[in-house]
Amino acid sequence: MARVHTTKANGQAQRKCGRCGHEVQKGETYYWAKPGFRTRRPVVRCAKHPFRQSELTTGVRSEALAAQEAWEDGLDSIDTFEALESAHQDLSSALEDYVSTRQEALDAWPNGNSQLEEFVYQAEAALDEVDSWSCDYSDSDEPDDDDLQELHEEMRDEPHSRADLVELWLQAKLDEAKSELDDIVQGLDL
């Protein structure tokens, strides 16, 4: 992974953030790094947009890290079980590609390679962890009467229609499923 340098702009050279295009002014703090092998030109980020792991890593690992970061970025925009399943499938397919690429690299060594074997093991463990999650609900599910009664008792302060209670129940189940999958994704060792 590339080393990140933190610097204050001195005004001699013009620097632009590679993510937002902000021109770094004299006295402002900015970050720079040279990811990759023998990179000549540094990549610059303003203080508002620090580097992410996937931007500092090169090779196949950066794609898996980018998928993990895309999950983190898109978590708040997931508002249906279908969108949650789609995000789960995207993450799973990115990890499958990562595993197959690591396995291909290992297969290229006729006598094996202990470091590549460890990479394959880690990648397979991450994929297994993500694939172990499943969502038991869909957007068309309805709670049973006991669940509705519990929810109604919790919400005694205000009267609610059955449709409102069903919507609240579905939202609670969606939040629970998102939290479960997010815990798994945060714990991945890539």
The last residue of one of the domains, among 14, 38, 56, is 56
Domains contained in the chain, number: 2
3-state secondary structure of 77: helix
141 and 165 both lie in a single domain: yes
Has residue 148 got a pLDDT over 70? yes
Structure tokens, 151: 């929810």
- Cα 58 to Cα 50: distance, rounded to the nearest angstrom: 17
Per the listing, tokens 């197959």 go with 100
pLDDT of residue 30: 93
Q: What is the mean pLDDT of the chain?
A: 88
23 and 114 both lie in a single domain: no
Phi, psi of 65 (to 5 degrees): -65, -40
For 81-116, the pLDDT digits (tens) are: 999 999 999 999 999 999 999 999 999 999 889 999
82 and 122 both lie in a single domain: yes
- Cα 163 to Cα 50: distance, rounded to the nearest angstrom: 44
pLDDT of residue 157: 66
- Cα 11 to Cα 25: distance, rounded to the nearest angstrom: 7
48 and 87 both lie in a single domain: no
Has residue 141 got a pLDDT over 70? yes
**Domain ranges, residue 52:** 5-56
The last residue of one of the domains, among 56, 76, 92, is 56
For 3-47, the pLDDT digits (tens) are: 899 989 887 788 899 889 999 889 999 999 998 877 788 899 999
Structure tokens, 88: 């789960």
